[in-house]
């Protein structure tokens, strides 16, 4: 993946993380019933995707991550 694609996916993941965090922090509405979408888990997944994009962006700029043993 090139830098532009990585930045676009990272921006989408950041927006989704913020949205899911906001929705997951709302108090439950007992009149409507239980929430059927696990917003906190989706926030965790999108934050993990954002972290992977940040690491990939660092690798694109020459910063070596990971284990150097081969």
Is 65 part of any domain?
A: no
pTM for the full model? 0.85
Q: How confident is the model at residue 16 (pLDDT cuts 50, 70, 90)?
A: very high
What are the structure tokens assigned to 36, written together? Answer: 């059927």
Determine the pLDDT at residue 70.
64
Q: How far apart are CA 70 and CA 62, in angstroms?
A: 18
Do the domain assignments include residue 55? yes
- Only one residue has tokens 């990585």, namely 6
Comparing C-alpha atoms, which of 66, 2, 15, 3 is closest to residue 43?
Answer: 15
Q: Is residue 66 part of a domain?
A: no
Mean pLDDT value across the chain: 93
- Domain extent, residue 13, equals 3-26+36-60
Count of domains forming the chain:
1
Q: What does the alpha-carbon distance between residue 3 and residue 46 come to, in Å, rounded to a whole number? A: 19
Average pLDDT over residues 16-36: 93
């Amino acid at each position: 993946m090139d830098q532009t694609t990585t930045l676009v996916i990272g921006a989408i993941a950041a927006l989704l993380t913020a949205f899911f965090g906001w929705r997951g922090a709302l108090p439950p509405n007992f009149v409507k019933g239980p929430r059927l979408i696990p917003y906190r888990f989706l926030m965790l997944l999108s934050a993990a995707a954002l972290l992977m994009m940040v690491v990939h962006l660092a690798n694109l700029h020459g910063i070596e991550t990971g284990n150097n043993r081969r």
